[in-house]
Chains A and B, each alone.
Chain A
Amino acid sequence: MASITIDGKVFEVDEKNNLLQECLSHAMDLPYFCWHPSMGSVGSCRQCAVVEYANEEDQKGRLVMACMTEPREGARYSIAAAAKFRAQAIESIMINHPHDCPVCEEGGECHLQDMTVMSGHTYRRYDGKKKTHNNQYLGPFINHEMNRCITCYRCVRYYKDYAGGTDFGPQASHDNTYFGRWQEGPLESEFSGNLVEVCPTGVFTDKPFSKHYSRKWDLQSSPSICTGCSVGCNTNPGERYGTLRRIVNRFNDEVNGYFLCDKGRFGAEYVNSPERIPVSMTRDSHNSDPVQIEPALAKDALKKAAKGAVAIGSPRASMEANYALRELVGEENFYAGISANELGMLNKIIDIYQNKPVNVASVKDIEGSDAVLILGEDLTNTAARLALGVRQSAKNLGRQMGADLNFPIWHDAAIRQLAMDKLSPLYILSPHTTRLDDIAHTSHISSAENSAKIGMAIAHAIDASAPAVEGLNKEEQALALEIAETLKSAKQALIISGTSSLEPALLDAASNIATALHSGNSKANLALVCSESNSMGLALMMQGSGKSIDEAMSAGAKTAIVLENDLYRRAASAKVDAFINSLDQLVVLDHLKNRTGEQANLVLAAATFAESSGTFVNYEGRAQHYYSTFKPDSNIRSSALWLSDKHFNEITADCAAAIANCAAILELTPGENYNFAGLKVPRQHHRYSGRTSMRANINVHEPKQEQDEDGVMVYSMEGVPAIKDAAVLNSPWVPGWNSNQSIFKFQEFAGGPLKQGSKGQRLIANNSTEKTWYEAGTSDFSAEGYKVFPVYHLFGSEELSAYTPAIQEKATSAYVSLSPEDAEKLGLKASDGVQVEHNGAVPFVVRKAIQPGTVGVSVGLKGLNFQDMSAAIALDKAAEWKNPDLWRAANIIVSDKREERVD
C-alpha cells in the first residue's frame, strides 16, 4: 500500500494497480476508454489524463496518463488540473463521430456517451466533413458500424491479444484507422460476442438483438446462469414484451469475469423459438395429435401419473426441478436421465473432487496456472470459457518475465513485446487437433484410452507410487516424462479433462496426475468438465447411485415422467423406441419440442431458465442461482412448480437438507423474506418506459406488482435497485455510468470481486491430503471397423442453443472426420458422402492429423444420432450423394493451425 494525494486528499492505494484503477476504486470519476481491467493499459486514448507533481514545490506538474502511472508513495496528483486536456481529448475524439445516438443501439448504455458528458464536451466546434468508412458483414452475431469508432483499440486488444483471434485487426492508419477483417465474412473467434461489450461505442452491436431491439432501460433483467455448458457463466438476460431480447455478461470474478462465449451470448433465444411448447397438452396414444389441457388439469394428471412411475431427471434442469421430481415419485423411482457411462464418470468426478488431494480449478484458477495439460477435452467446443481461460494461463510466462524486470502487471503491451511468442507450457492429448493448438507446446494426437495411458505414465513419472503402465511407444514415453517434468517444475500446474471423451480412464489419469503433484501444502489445479449446465447437480442428486437412464428404461414401469430431457440424446434410438412403446403413459415436462415430447401422452409446458428460478451446479461443484427474468404466460410454469405444491424456497430448502453436500444451495439467495426497507429488488430499470401504457390494450388498470418464485425480486420498476450493496445485482447502473463499465462501482476495487460477493457456493468440500490412486486400465481396444471418437461443435452440439437461429447459421449438419489415408481408401472425392453404419450417409471432412483407422463423428448435429454409434463402425462411400442444405463446411474450424484441414 502507498499513500498518495489527489487534489489535496490523501488516499491509500495499492501500488500494484495503476493510478486510473485506483482513482476508480476510490469512487472518483476519471474518464477512460482504452484501459480494461482484464486487458490492462496501453495509454492510447489519452482520456484518463491527470497532472503529476514532481514535489511539494512543483506548481505546474506534468500531464500523465493515469492508466500508465504507477502510484508511488507520497506522490501528488490532480485530476482537476487536467480537466481542460480531457475536454480537448474528447472533443477531438468526437470530430468524426456521427452523433447518431438516437438510432444507435449502444445509446443509453454507451460508454462514449458517458465519457463525453463526464469530460465536459457539449458543443461541436469542428465544422469540417466527417470521415466515413465502409462496414463489413461479420457473420450472424455482430453488426459493424465503423463510423462510430473512436479508435480506442480495445476491440483488437480483446480479439487478438486476449482471445487469440487471427482474422480481425486494425488496418490503415492516421484518422483513417479501420477495425475489421481482411475481407467480409463471419468472425472466426468463438468469443466474438464480447466485442459488443468491449467496444465502448456502437461499432460492434449484437445482431440478433438488433432484430428486436430495445433500449437497456426498457429491458427487464435478472441475474441468470448460462445453460450452454457446464461452466455456468453468469449472464444477464434482457426481456421486453414477453420475449427474451439478449444476453449480456454478468461479472463473476471467479467464473466468467467479463467474458462469455458466443454460444452463451447468442444461444439463448431458444426461449422465443416457434418450437416452444406454449401450452400443456395430452395425447391419447404416442402418435396421435395433441389436445390442449388447462394447467390445473394438467397438474392433476401429472400427480395421478406419478404413482408407480419411473422418473427420469435431467442434467439441464435445475436442482429444484430434479428434486421436486424425486420427491413426487420417491427416491427409489428417480433415475438420472443420462447414460450409465456418463453417470459413472460424474460420480467419479465427485469422488475425485472430494477425496483426492487436488484443488478444483475455477476459471480464475485456470487463468492463474503456469503449466497446463489437457486430456482428451476439446475445450473450445465443450466448455468454451475454459479455453479462453487457458489462453490467459499461457501468458503467465510473459507476465513472469515482465515481473522479473519490474514491469507492472497492467503494462500489457510491454509484457507482450517482451514475451513475444514465449508461452507457459500447454500440452494437449486429443484424438484430433483443437482450437488451442496455436498456443500448445505440444498437441499430441492419440485416442482417449491411449491418452489415459500416457496420463498414467505421467503420474507415475511424477510420483513413483502411482501405478505404472505398459505398452507405450518410445515417443510417448518420452512425452510423458517431458510433461511430468514440466508439471512438476510449475508453480501452479493445471490438469483438465472431462466427460466428453466418454472415456472414464481419462478421469483416472487426470486424478492420478493431480494427486501425484500434491506435495506439502501445494495442490495441483484440476478441472473436470461435464456436459451440461447441471450435470454435476444431477450427479450430486444421485448421491453416488448408478441409476442411469439405462436402468430406468429396464425398470419395467408402465408410466414414465421425463423432466426436460430428450431420451434420444441419451440412448440408442431403438432402445428408446422400445421403452416408449412399452409404456402406457409418457409424461414429459419440457420447453421445446423434441422427439421424446412428440410421443408424450401428457406434456407440461415448462418454463425455460428465463422464466423460472433455480440452481445449477457447474463443473467445479459451484452452485449458482438464477432468477427468472420475466413472468411467463400463465400456461407455462417452472418444472419445479409443476412437480410440487410447495413454495419454491421450500423445495430448495428440502433439497438442501436431503441431498448430501447440497446444504449451501440455501445460501445462494437472500431468501423469501428478503426486503430492503420493506421493498424488493426491481427487475426493471427506474427509467423503464411504458409502465402504464404497455398493457393498456388489455386492461387500463395497472396490474398488481408481481413477485417472483424466490420472493426476492419483483417484476416491476418499484423497489430498491441494486445501487451499491444490493444483495442482488442484475443490470449494473450508477449515475453517470450507464454502460456496463459501471460494474466497477460494485467491485471491491476496479476490476476486483463484487462487493456483494455473489460468486455462488462451492458444494464439494475437500481437505484431503492423502494420495490414493486409480489403477491403470488394461483393456486394449479391439473391434472391427473405424474406431469412433466424438467431435463436438460449440454451435450445434448442445441441445437447447441449437434451436436459436443465429447459432444455426454458425452450425452445420452432421458429418464425419477422416484421415487422408482413409478418405483415399474409401475412394472419396470432395463431393461424396460417407455411409455410416447404424445411420444414414453424411458429408465428411479430411483432417491430416486424424489417425488412420479412426473416425470423428459429430455429436448433436442434425443428420446423425451419436447415440446410435457403436465403438467402432463400418464406413462406405455413399451412393447417389448430395450434400444436405445444412452442410456448411466453412463453419468447421478444426484448429488454429489451418494447414491441418484438407479441403
Chain B
Amino acid sequence: MSINNPLTKNIEKGRAPFTFAEYKAAGGYQSFANAIKMAPRDVMGQVKDAGLGGRGGAGFNTGLKWSFSPDPDGLPRYLVVNADEMEPGTFKDRLLMESDPHLLIEGMITASYAIQATTGYIFLRGEYTVAEENLLKAIAEAYDNGMLGKNIQGSDFSLDIYLHTSAGRYICGEETALINALEGKRANPRFKPPFPQVSGLWGRPTLVNNVETICNIPGILTYGVDWFKGLGLGDECGTRISGVSGRVKNPGCWEMPVGTTFRTLLEDYAGGMQDGYELKAFLPGGGSTDFLMPEHLDLPMIPGEVAKAGSRLGTSLIMVLDDKTCPVGTVRNLIKFFAHESCGWCTPCRDGLPWVEHILNKMEEGKGEMKDIEILKEMCGYMGPGNTFCALAPGAAEPLQSSLKYFMDEYESHVKHGCSYKSH
C-alpha cells in the first residue's frame, strides 16, 4: 500500500518495458480479479468515488461519465482509448504506452468490465511507432496468458482489443471525430447529443477515455478508493503526469500528486529556466490553453484553480514562453497549427483561423495595422465556446485571447515597428 507512483512505478529509463510475466510479478493484473467479484455498476461507482478526473483535457469525472451509458442489451459496446496525443507540447501518454504498455491493457480490461464493453480499441497517434510495437507485443502476451479473448480468467467476461494507428490529424483526438475516423469516415466531429455513451462507434454505446485516465484504473481497483484519494495533495485525489517543454534546464514529464503547484513542477522537477532566460508566461496544459503569467506559478495544478486564473489545466503539460521568444510569433505558430488542423466542418474555425493566421503573419512581417488588432479581438469571441461545432476552435482561440490580454504592448509594437525578436 505504499505505492505512490502507480502510473510510473514500472518505468525505468533505458530499460525495456515489462513483459507480461514481469508486469504480473510486480503486482499487475490484480484489478480485474478484484473487479470481477463486483457488479459492473459497482466498479463504476468505485471509479466515481475515487474522484478520477479525465486526463484527456476536460477533467470530467470518469466514473460519472461511464454511468451515463445505458444498461447492456446484449449487443456490442465499446471502450475506445484515446491515444492520439497531438495536443502541442503534450507527451505523457507516449511515456505510458512506450514504457509500460501492460498498465494500459490492464486498465482497459477492468474498465471494459465496468462498462461491459465487448471490444476495446486503442486509437494511436500514427507517429508513435515505438508505442505501437510495444502495445502490440503486450496485447499478444495478454491473449497468450488468458487476459484477453474469450472468458478472461475463467470468468463470463470476454474482451478483444484492437490497436488502430491514426492516419494523422489533430482533430482525430476529439472523441467523436475519433469515432468517425475509426469507422473509416472523415474525421469530422459529431454533434452531441447523442453522446457516444448512447450512440458511438458503429452506432453503439461507446466510451472514449484518455490513455492516462485508463492507466489509473488498475490502481483504483487494486489498492482501493481510499488509497487513491490519499495520493493527492489536500482534497485532491490520485497522481497525474505533468511536464514541461521550452527553455528549462530539464524538460520532461513526471508523475506527481494531483494538487502540485506549477512552481514545484517548473523549479523542482524541470530545474527552472535555462541560464540567461526568464519566464515570461506559460501555457498550462497544451497549445489550446490560455497563457498564465509568472504570478500564477503558485497555483496548484487542478482544473478549478486554473480556471479561476482564466485558463484551463488541459493536459497539464506546460509550455514555457521565455523572454527571448516573440509571443506574437509563438501564437502565430500555434494558430498556424490549429488552422491547418481544423477539420473544415464549421465556419468559424475553418475560415476564422486562417484569417487570424494571415493577420499574425502580417504582424510578423511588419505589415500589421491597428485595425487588425481589433479583428483579432473580435475573432476570439467569434470562435469562442459554443459558437463552433467542437472544442478545437475555442481551444485555438485561448492562447490568442490571453496573449492579447497580457501582451497587447507586443502586438502594438509589432504594428508600429515590426517584430523585434530576432529568433524565429
Instruction: List which B340-380 residues lie within 8 A (CB) of chain A.
Output: 340-348, 350-355, 358, 371, 375, 378
How many residues on the A side are at the interface (Cβ–Cβ under 8 A)?
Answer: 41
Contacts of B304 in A (CB 8 A): none
B351 touches A175 (CB 8 A): yes
The answer to the question of A413 belonging to the interface, with a C-beta cut-off of 8 Å to chain B, is yes
Chain B: minimal CB distance from A265 (Å): 29
A89 touches B191 (CB 8 A): no
A334-342, A415-423, A669-677, A716-724: which lies at the B interface?
Answer: A415-423
The answer to the question of A63 belonging to the interface, with a C-beta cut-off of 8 Å to chain B, is yes
Contacts of B191 in A (CB 8 A): 42-43, 68, 411, 413-414
- Known A-B contacts A88-B348, A173-B343, A174-B340; the reply to A413 vs B387 at CB < 8 A is no
The answer to the question of A214 belonging to the interface, with a C-beta cut-off of 8 Å to chain B, is no
Chain B: minimal CB distance from A50 (Å): 12
A92-100, A440-448, A559-567, A758-766: which lies at the B interface?
Answer: A92-100
The answer to the question of B386 belonging to the interface, with a C-beta cut-off of 8 Å to chain A, is yes
Per DSSP, chain A at the interface is mixed
Q: How far is the CA of A524 from the CA of B403 in the complex (A)?
A: 67
The answer to the question of B194 belonging to the interface, with a C-beta cut-off of 8 Å to chain A, is yes
The answer to the question of A586 belonging to the interface, with a C-beta cut-off of 8 Å to chain B, is no
Instruction: List which A801-815 residues lie within 8 A (CB) of chain B.
Output: none
B190 touches A89 (CB 8 A): no
B350 touches A174 (CB 8 A): yes
B81-89, B195-203, B412-420: which lies at the A interface?
Answer: B195-203
The answer to the question of B150 belonging to the interface, with a C-beta cut-off of 8 Å to chain A, is no
Q: How far is the CA of A769 from the CA of B346 in the complex (A)?
A: 53
Chain B: minimal CB distance from A389 (Å): 25
Chain A: minimal CB distance from B414 (Å): 17
Chain B: minimal CB distance from A448 (Å): 38
B342 touches A417 (CB 8 A): no
The answer to the question of A898 belonging to the interface, with a C-beta cut-off of 8 Å to chain B, is no
Q: How far is the CA of A93 from the CA of B350 in the complex (A)?
A: 9
Q: How far is the CA of A62 from the CA of B386 in the complex (A)?
A: 7
- Known A-B contacts A62-B386, A88-B382; the reply to A407 vs B194 at CB < 8 A is yes
Q: How far is the CA of A47 from the CA of B387 in the complex (A)?
A: 10
- Known A-B contacts A62-B386, A85-B382; the reply to A414 vs B342 at CB < 8 A is no
Q: How far is the CA of A552 from the CA of B358 in the complex (A)?
A: 77
B194 touches A405 (CB 8 A): yes
Q: How far is the CA of A47 from the CA of B354 in the complex (A)?
A: 19
Contacts of B351 in A (CB 8 A): 92-93, 95-96, 151, 175
The answer to the question of B264 belonging to the interface, with a C-beta cut-off of 8 Å to chain A, is no
Closest to B199 in A: A418
The answer to the question of B333 belonging to the interface, with a C-beta cut-off of 8 Å to chain A, is no
Among A44, A96, A170, A418, point to the contact of B194 (Cβ < 8 A): A418
Contacts of B347 in A (CB 8 A): 44-47, 89, 92-93, 151
Closest to A82 in B: B387
Cβ contacts A210-229/B at 8 Å (1 or 0 each)? 00000000000000000000
Cβ contacts B115-143/A at 8 Å (1 or 0 each)? 00000000000000000000000000000
Contacts of B386 in A (CB 8 A): 62-64
The answer to the question of B186 belonging to the interface, with a C-beta cut-off of 8 Å to chain A, is yes
A46 touches B199 (CB 8 A): no
Closest to A96 in B: B351
Instruction: List which B369-416 residues lie within 8 A (CB) of chain A.
Output: 371, 375, 378, 382, 386-389
The answer to the question of B263 belonging to the interface, with a C-beta cut-off of 8 Å to chain A, is no
Q: How far is the CA of A43 from the CA of B189 in the complex (A)?
A: 11
Cβ contacts A118-151/B at 8 Å (1 or 0 each)? 0000000110100000000000000000000001
Chain B: minimal CB distance from A86 (Å): 10
Closest to A416 in B: B203
Q: How far is the CA of A268 from the CA of B350 in the complex (A)?
A: 40
Closest to A45 in B: B347
Among B190, B203, B348, B355, point to the contact of A419 (Cβ < 8 A): B203
Q: How far is the CA of A417 from the CA of B191 in the complex (A)?
A: 11
The answer to the question of A176 belonging to the interface, with a C-beta cut-off of 8 Å to chain B, is yes
B203 touches A95 (CB 8 A): no
Among A89, A151, A411, A420, point to the contact of B348 (Cβ < 8 A): A89
Q: How far is the CA of A411 from the CA of B199 in the complex (A)?
A: 13
The answer to the question of A895 belonging to the interface, with a C-beta cut-off of 8 Å to chain B, is no
Contacts of A125 in B (CB 8 A): 371, 375
The answer to the question of A177 belonging to the interface, with a C-beta cut-off of 8 Å to chain B, is yes
The answer to the question of B280 belonging to the interface, with a C-beta cut-off of 8 Å to chain A, is no
Q: How far is the CA of A515 from the CA of B132 in the complex (A)?
A: 61
A414 touches B355 (CB 8 A): no
Chain A: minimal CB distance from B117 (Å): 18
Contacts of A175 in B (CB 8 A): 339, 342, 344, 350-351, 354
Among B198, B343, B355, B371, point to the contact of A92 (Cβ < 8 A): B355
B341 touches A174 (CB 8 A): yes
B343 touches A126 (CB 8 A): no
Q: How far is the CA of A94 from the CA of B187 in the complex (A)?
A: 24
Q: Which of A45, A153, A418 has the most CB of B within 10 A?
A: A418
Closest to A173 in B: B344
B190 touches A174 (CB 8 A): no
B382 touches A151 (CB 8 A): no
Q: How far is the CA of A63 from the CA of B384 in the complex (A)?
A: 10
Closest to A408 in B: B193
Q: How far is the CA of A520 from the CA of B275 in the complex (A)?
A: 89
Contacts of A126 in B (CB 8 A): 355, 358
A151 touches B344 (CB 8 A): yes
Contacts of A45 in B (CB 8 A): 346-347
Cβ contacts A391-415/B at 8 Å (1 or 0 each)? 0000000000100010100010110
A174 touches B339 (CB 8 A): yes
Closest to A152 in B: B347
B382 touches A420 (CB 8 A): no
Q: How far is the CA of A422 from the CA of B347 in the complex (A)?
A: 31
Contacts of B190 in A (CB 8 A): 413-414, 417
Q: How far is the CA of A126 from the CA of B361 in the complex (A)?
A: 13
Chain B: minimal CB distance from A821 (Å): 37
The answer to the question of B48 belonging to the interface, with a C-beta cut-off of 8 Å to chain A, is no
Q: How far is the CA of A411 from the CA of B339 in the complex (A)?
A: 28
The answer to the question of B169 belonging to the interface, with a C-beta cut-off of 8 Å to chain A, is yes
Among A46, A62, A401, A411, point to the contact of B388 (Cβ < 8 A): A46
Contacts of B342 in A (CB 8 A): 173-175
Closest to A49 in B: B387
Closest to A47 in B: B347
Contacts of A92 in B (CB 8 A): 347-348, 351-352, 355, 382
Q: Which of B186, B342, B350, B375 has the most CB of A within 10 A?
A: B350
Closest to B340 in A: A174
Q: How far is the CA of A96 from the CA of B191 in the complex (A)?
A: 26
Q: How far is the CA of A531 from the CA of B190 in the complex (A)?
A: 44
Chain B: minimal CB distance from A203 (Å): 15
Contacts of B203 in A (CB 8 A): 401, 417-420, 422
Chain B: minimal CB distance from A142 (Å): 22
Among B194, B343, B382, B387, point to the contact of A174 (Cβ < 8 A): B343
Instruction: List which B240-264 residues lie within 8 A (CB) of chain A.
Output: none
Contacts of B346 in A (CB 8 A): 43-46
Contacts of A96 in B (CB 8 A): 351
Q: How far is the CA of A172 from the CA of B188 in the complex (A)?
A: 12
Contacts of A176 in B (CB 8 A): 344
A46 touches B198 (CB 8 A): no
Known contacts A63-B387, A89-B347, A92-B355; 4 additional CB pairs below 8 A are: A88-B378, A92-B351, A96-B351, A128-B354
Residues of chain A having any CB pair with chain B under 8 Å: 42-47, 49, 62-64, 68, 85, 88-89, 92-93, 95-96, 125-126, 128, 151, 153, 170, 172-177, 401, 405, 407, 411, 413-414, 417-420, 422
Nearest 3 CB-CB pairs, A to B? Answer: A177-B344, A92-B351, A128-B358
**What are 29 A-B contacts defined by CB distance under 8 Å?**
A42-B191, A43-B191, A43-B389, A44-B345, A44-B389, A46-B347, A46-B348, A64-B386, A88-B352, A125-B375, A126-B355, A128-B358, A151-B344, A151-B347, A170-B344, A172-B344, A173-B169, A173-B187, A174-B341, A174-B350, A175-B342, A175-B344, A177-B350, A405-B199, A414-B190, A417-B190, A417-B203, A418-B199, A420-B202
